[in-house]
Amino acid sequence: MIMEANAILDQEIEVDVLVVGGGSSGLWAAIRALDFCPRVIVADKGKITSSGVSTMIHGVQAPLEENEILTAMKELVEGSVFLADQDRLSILLREMGLRFKEMVDWGVPFERDADGKLHTQHRMGLKTNRMAFVNGRQMMREMKAKALAGGVWFLERAMITDLLTSDGYHPSQGRIVGAVGFNTITGGFIIIKAKAVVITTGLIGAKQHLSYVDGLTGDGTAMALRVGAELENMELSQSAAFSLWERSFSTGGQAEYMRAGAKVVNSLGEDIILKYAPDKVEPFLSKLNICFAAVKEILEGRGPIYMDMRNLTDKDVALLRNVLPSAMRAFDEAGVDIQKQQVEITPAVHHWGTGGGIKISPDGETNIPGLYAAGCASHNSANYVSGAGQPQAYNFFSGYRAGERAGRMAAATGNAAIERKQVELFMDSVFAPLSRAAGPSPGDLYLAVNSATVPAEYSFFKQELRIKRVIEELQRLQAEELPVVRAHDIHELVKANEVRNTIPVLEAIFRCSLERKESRHAHFREEYPYRDDINWLKWVIIRKDSRGFVIRHEDIPVDRYPIRPDRREIVPGLIGFALGQSRE
């Protein structure tokens, strides 16, 4: 059942499981939860199959043979520079074939070769992991049909703003008993009583208009943070990509162009992949590392950087048109023929939440009873090697498991009472921006957030004083600007509630960045330009208590994991760089 947006006024709904976010992990969670309890609802800010990133994907990690799993795992763990949770990664690699098969049975149209076999390709820098191609929109449509046919309810154009707790407090020492929010068109207040809530709100963007993530603003991550849930690996969460082309337009799909053989060259015509990794040693060949190298080239005066896709064949381009229709429309609309000209690229951190997220068990449990998470909102144990479809496979696996655990828990639990005072408090705070006659707009706040976090010296090349400057600015926005933000209509009210979520999550990211005193994967510290396996084979975990942020470390249990470093040592970074030096 789809509850139509305009038909909804103020309403109260009672369910077993509430899933917040209608992407692929959310639909998997809902479909699986329904096996254990009858009342499962998915709430989404937009319309399911139009919102989120799953709609825009072009591929999924292909199923592996049993004898390939250990090798595939080694590639991914080394790509994560040993940060991956190998317990979860192992389950993922074993279970993703099952999820994939179910999706084929539902009618998800994966690309096939002329003989009918699944069309798969190895990705850049990977020898065992392969990608199966699919148009994400078509995939989501089949998943939506499956969920609806099974009896999942959809609540669309519904922004969930706050979790309800059994003790009525944030942070809570009780359990999650539901959530509140409002309809993004009518402004109708929504109260949902739920025995379990699964957060699947995906990545964390700050409305930069890049990579189709303007609707993903860290809502679920912030809600989890407010109730006291732990976040993990947030300092690794920035996602860098070449999503800005010719300094004027944006598309996705960069890893796919590079997989097909595109080169990245500087203004001198030097191939920067060959320059920084002449033997193409893994794990250099990731979109992330190439972005770091490209930014370094630009800051040292050898920009602009171009992507040279002139060697792509007509067959390559035909596949791109099938699986990346929006990206190819953007090139067409801009008058760029990728087979005939080099295209200038601007590497940028365009969203956050890729490597870090809500800390979960292999079954999607957070440290707060009744609260579960899956997909890119959770700490993704497989999402360190870009562009090989692991994020999608992770969404399926983690959504399925979180849905199962939430469904089982809900089936065994009686209804919990909600605290009416807490509901009233949230109702007042959610709508407060509408009642202000003056104050900054949400757009003003997003501009301030991006000014503080997007420049390369804050997002790519971090350093203690600069990180502290970012934290101070985010705290100032939180304390001084957010309480007076003004919304002149319901549409702006959505954005006011979004920026309320983005700011504290970004603060958590930069606090964790200050904590990790080494450089590893997406986290580069100018003062510590090396990987320190002696001291930092650790996960950094952050939560909020009533006094503020609290950070702890957890040793990564590499000694019991199947894949581990040869020895614990300090390893120079692949890309040495100091902003001060480059400017001298």
Partner 1 sequence: MVIKSINWEICNDCKLRQENRCPVADSCSLDVIRLDDEGKPHIAYAEDCHNCFLCSRDCPLEAVEVSSMIPLLIMPY
Binding site for partner 1 (CB under 8 A): 45-47, 50-52, 55-56, 137, 157, 184-185, 207-210, 212-215, 244, 247-251, 295, 298-299, 325-326, 329-331, 333-334, 346-349, 443, 447, 450-451, 454-456, 459-460, 491, 494-495
Smallest distance from partner 1 to CB 225, Å: 23
Q: Which is closer to partner 1, CB of 36 or CB of 524?
A: 524
Torsion sign (Cα): 432, 437, 438, 442: positive
Distance between CA atoms of residues 41 and 27, nearest Å: 10
Smallest distance from partner 1 to CB 192, Å: 20
Smallest distance from partner 1 to CB 148, Å: 15
- List the beta bridge partners of residue 140: none
Q: Which is closer to partner 1, CB of 184 or CB of 513?
A: 184
For the residues of 26-44, what is the DSSP string, one character each?
HHHHHHHHTTT-S-EEEE-
Q: Which is closer to partner 1, CB of 189 or CB of 292?
A: 292
Smallest distance from partner 1 to CB 262, Å: 19
Smallest distance from partner 1 to CB 363, Å: 29
Helix (H) or strand (E) holding 183: strand 176-183
User: Crossing angle, helix 325-334 and helix 314-323, to 10 degrees?
Assistant: 110
Smallest distance from partner 1 to CB 164, Å: 25
Q: Which is closer to partner 1, CB of 447 or CB of 571?
A: 447
Cis peptide bond upstream of 433, omega within 30: no
Residues 6+ apart with CB under 8 A from 275: 266, 293
Cα torsion at 47, 50, 52, 55 (round to 10°)? Answer: 140
Distance between CA atoms of residues 391 and 23, nearest Å: 12
Q: Give the gyration radius of the chain's Cα atoms.
A: 23
Smallest distance from partner 1 to CB 154, Å: 12
- List the beta bridge partners of residue 545: 548
Task: Classify burial at 114, counting beta carbons within 10 Å of its beta carbon; exposed 0-12, middle 13-18, buried 19 or more.
Answer: exposed
Q: Which is closer to partner 1, CB of 53 or CB of 64?
A: 53
Q: Which is closer to partner 1, CB of 171 or CB of 187?
A: 187
Q: How are beta strands 249-250 and 263-265 bridged, if at all? A: unpaired
Q: Which is closer to partner 1, CB of 46 or CB of 168?
A: 46
Distance between CA atoms of residues 393 and 375, nearest Å: 9
Smallest distance from partner 1 to CB 446, Å: 8
Q: Which is closer to partner 1, CB of 215 or CB of 355?
A: 215
Smallest distance from partner 1 to CB 456, Å: 5
Q: Which is closer to partner 1, CB of 45 or CB of 58?
A: 45
Buried b (16+ CB within 10 A) or exposed e, 228-247: bbbbbbbbbbbbbbbbbbbe
For the residues of 405-448, what is the DSSP string, one character each?
HHHHHHHT-PPPPP-HHHHHHHHHHHHGGGG-SSS--HHHHHHH
Single-letter amino acid, residue 468: K
Q: How are beta strands 530-532 and 570-572 bridged, if at all? A: antiparallel
Smallest distance from partner 1 to CB 207, Å: 8
Q: Which is closer to partner 1, CB of 251 or CB of 422?
A: 251
